[in-house]
Amino acid sequence: MALLEIKNLQVTVDGREILKGLDLTVNAGEVHAIMGPNGSGKSTLAHVLAGKEHYEVTGGTVTFEGADLLALEPDERAARGLFLAFQYPLEIPGVATMTFLRTALNAQRKKRGEPELSTPEFMKLVREASKKLGVDQDMLRRPVNVGFSGGEKKRNEILQMALLEPKLCVLDETDSGLDIDALKVVADGVNRLRSPERAMIVITHYQRLLNHIVPDVVHVLSRGRIVRTGGKELAHELEAKGYAGYQDEAA
Amino acid sequence: MTAEVHPIRTAAETELCEAFASAKARLPGGQDVAARREAAFHRFEARGLPHRRVEEWKYTDLRAMMRDAKPLASPPDAAAKARAKTAAQVLGDVECRRLVFVDGVFAADLSDLDALEAGLTVRPMAEALAAGDPLVKGYLGKVATAEDDVALSLNTAFMGDGAVIRIAAGASLDRPLHLVFAAAGDAPASIFTRSLVVIEKGARAMLVESHQGAEGRDYQVNTAIELVVEDEAHVDHVKITREGASALHISSLVATIGARARFNAFAFTTGGAVVRNQMFLRFDGEGTVAALRGASLLAGRQHADVTVFADHAVGGCQSRELFKSVLDGESRGVFQGKITVRPDAQQTDAKMMTQALLLSETAEADNKPELEIFADDVQCGHGATAGKLDEDLLFYLKARGIPAKEAEALLVRAFVGEAIDGIEHAGLRELLMDAVIAWVAARD
């Protein structure tokens, strides 16, 4: 059974059809890259998978480990192992990063019927994970993402990913707003999480992220459909030729 | 001019006139106090209850809201005192010295007057009025220019008991003073309490006022506290209003603050049908820093009004205001803030912020900031926001596995926490955060 199976997914936002029959199958252990021009529906796909409101699914199915993903609330999807790394991580004034991480982790554990972590257990986990990612302890005491640089925010996303140990990570333009050094740090963090049990969907406009997170499969999304699928060399081709051909093709 | 003649009185106004006529002879105090009461009552008679055309009461139309005036409370019986004993535990583990008032009357047996710290003197107001206490003679009704307010005038006319507290120059209290006002009787009643606290030069004190009453009881509270904060004193004041569901509660905090002093006030409101917290603050000496904060958490048809007058009579002072309200159901939160900077009050630094979080479509927030600046070298600012919980933030939290209700609770706590974090006393900070958590948990 595939980890994620999307069949003929059609999604409308504010009366406009964005996804027009998207098919995608992702197996455990695989890293898929989804590339495409602006407005092709990349972020819509990420948000629909995570369960954001105001995205109306007008057709198709999405199954996650065989279950109907679209019938689940966002928090239930997360507890089952779906993680969306946000393109623009939000700032939450007044909520300390530690409190946020702990509430999230324990809420997921509770939903899965696992015991909640004690404070020392949790602290140990966070310390280890943050060390590997080079996340400053001081950052953890600050309110979530408040006053963080773009790089710190993305690192914080990857830290959450590492702690929550999802089965499927969806990275929505994780490279946006990062300089090359920050990009390397984030990519290293992601690579460390690659495992035979875990799959990833890396959504990006540029090939440069894929130099660091090397995908197994590359898809081209254009006008709400996957129009081409290939190996990692497809990303290089896109980098050289641009998306112009695909925009024409889809028109 | 808003002075008007009212040939037609409302039922409540008529009842207040009757109550004053029949009670004035037995209210505490000598000739001079009686004259004060008469003068104050005349101010009420001339204008009647404040209504929506009185700018300061624009959103809290007392004439419409007060259908009647309850009879003056009788002295508490044993059952009321027993109930008040529970009410006195409201601060939980926070160590404090308690002064308990049951239906407006000082209850010595429930209060802690043992081993008063050096420099601390405490006396019940009724006794002080009757005895012509010099402190009361010197300060009562003279602390700041608020006598024009009709609610405060009514308090002066009817004032019964309360606390008269003096903290001598340089003295520092080991633990907070907790004034417990418990409306613990059964019968409908109106309760008028008046307190005077003089904190002398360089003294340090923390005052906590709590007001609570029986859920089912129909009662009206008019409470006032006058604070004299002398030069270099450091005073924290926290008021917790948890009146019963049918209660009308009007409170006036009147303070004059000397030079190089620190003054922090916090008004926390979760209970009462109609609550009005008014603060009249006058800066009387340079170099003082004051922070006025508050949080109201309202549901159902509750109405809570915070109205603050900060009068920068002298220069070089800093005032900060931050008032938050969380409004559910059909509740209504009102904030009015007026900052006055007098012509010579140069180098004033005054900022005011009010924020309302609307948890339902039917809740209402009214925010009215006012700045009146006569000096030219000042920094003044104000801000007001009203909105619902941020959907994107909620989604972010839910996407991390936090269920909707818990995500909402986290954001409400964060919203109110910003104001509560300003309270210096850690125990009280925790107590109020716990109250917020309990309030959120009790929703829906």
> In whole angstroms, what separates CA B187 from the centre of its chain?
24
Going by their DSSP bridges, the two strands B189-199 and B177-183 should be labelled as unpaired
Q: For the purposes of burial, counting CB atoms within 10 Å of the CB of B379, is it exposed (0-12), middle (13-18) or buried (19 or more)?
A: exposed
Domain boundaries, chain A: 4-91+167-250
Whether residues B400 and A51 touch (CB distance < 8 A) is answered with no
Task: Write down the number of H helices and E strands in chain A.
Answer: 10, 12
Q: Which residues of A touch B403 (CB under 8 A)?
A: 73, 75, 107, 111
Predicted-complex ipTM score: 0.95
Query: So what's the pLDDT on residue A251?
Result: 38
Give just the sign of the alpha carbon dihedral B33, B35, B41, B43: negative
Give the list of residues 6+ apart from residue B289 with CB closer than 8 angstroms, or none: B261, B262, B263, B317, B318, B319
Mean pLDDT, each 10-residue run in order, chain A (251 residues): 95 95 96 93 96 95 97 97 95 91 96 94 92 85 91 92 96 90 89 95 92 94 94 88 69 38
Q: What is the DSSP string of A129-182?
A: HHHHHT--HHHHHSEETTT--HHHHHHHHHHHHHHH--SEEEEESTTTT--HHH
Q: CA–CA separation, A197 vs A65, rounded Å?
A: 12
Whether residues B401 and A79 touch (CB distance < 8 A) is answered with yes
Reduce the DSSP state of residue B394 to 3 states and report it.
helix
Tokens 């995608």 sit at which residue?
A24
Q: Do residues B27 and B159 make contact, with C-beta atoms less than 8 angstroms apart?
A: yes
Q: CA–CA separation, B106 vs A101, rounded Å?
A: 49
Q: What is the DSSP string of B3-30?
A: ----SSPPHHHHHHHHHHHHHGGGSSS-
Residue ranges in chain B modelled with pLDDT below 70: 1-7, 144, 147
Query: So what's the pLDDT on residue B7?
Result: 60
Q: Which residues of A touch B397 (CB under 8 A)?
A: 92, 100, 104
Q: Say how many CB pairs under 8 Å bridge A and B.
A: 77
Whether residues B400 and A164 touch (CB distance < 8 A) is answered with yes
Q: Which residues of B touch A105 (CB under 8 A)?
A: 401
Domain boundaries, chain B: 75-388, 389-444
Q: What is the DSSP string of B44-67?
A: HHHH-S--TTSGGGTT--HHHH--
Give just the sign of the alpha carbon dihedral A126, A129, A131, A137: negative
B419, closest residue in chain A (CA to CA): A94
- Supply the DSSP symbol for A228: E
Q: CA–CA separation, B82 vs B147, rounded Å?
A: 36
Query: So what's the pLDDT on residue A249?
Result: 46
Query: So what's the pLDDT on residue B6?
Result: 53
Q: Do residues A26 and A4 make contact, with C-beta atoms less than 8 angstroms apart?
A: yes
Whether residues A73 and B404 touch (CB distance < 8 A) is answered with yes
Q: What is the DSSP string of A187-217?
A: HHHHHHT-BTTBEEEEEESSSHHHHHS--SE
A contact set with B (CB within 8 A):
50-53, 73-75, 77-79, 83-84, 86, 89-90, 92-95, 99-100, 103-105, 107-108, 111, 143, 160, 164
- Three-state SS string across B269-304, please? EEECCEEEEEEEEEECCCCCEEEEEEEEEECCCCEE
CA nearest to B181, candidates B266, B291, B98, B262: B98
Closest Cα in chain A, distance from residue B215 (Å): 33
B409, closest residue in chain A (CA to CA): A95
Going by their DSSP bridges, the two strands B234-242 and B204-213 should be labelled as parallel
- Supply the DSSP symbol for B113: -
User: Residue B369's CB: how many other CB atoms inside 10 A?
Assistant: 18
A100, closest residue in chain B (CA to CA): B397
End-to-end CA distance of chain A: 35
Whether residues B411 and A95 touch (CB distance < 8 A) is answered with yes
Q: Do residues B138 and B128 make contact, with C-beta atoms less than 8 angstroms apart?
A: no
Give the list of residues 6+ apart from residue B190 with CB closer than 8 angstroms, or none: B19, B69, B70, B71, B72, B73, B158, B219, B220, B221, B222
Option in A52, A89, A104 nearest B401 (CB) = A104
Closest Cα in chain B, distance from residue A146 (Å): 13
End-to-end CA distance of chain B: 46
Q: CA–CA separation, A145 vs A123, rounded Å?
A: 19
What are the tens digits of pLDDT across the range B165-206?
Answer: 999 999 999 899 999 999 998 899 999 999 999 999 999 999
Token pair belonging to B357: 């979080």
Going by their DSSP bridges, the two strands A225-230 and A217-222 should be labelled as antiparallel
> In whole angstroms, what separates CA A73 from the centre of its chain?
17
Q: Which residues of B touch A73 (CB under 8 A)?
A: 398, 403-404
Gyration radius from chain A CA atoms: 18
Longest dimension (CA), chain A: 57
Reduce the DSSP state of residue B99 to 3 states and report it.
strand
Tell the CATH topology of A4-91+167-250: Rossmann fold (3.40.50)
Q: Do residues A199 and A24 make contact, with C-beta atoms less than 8 angstroms apart?
A: no
Give the mean pLDDT of chain B: 94
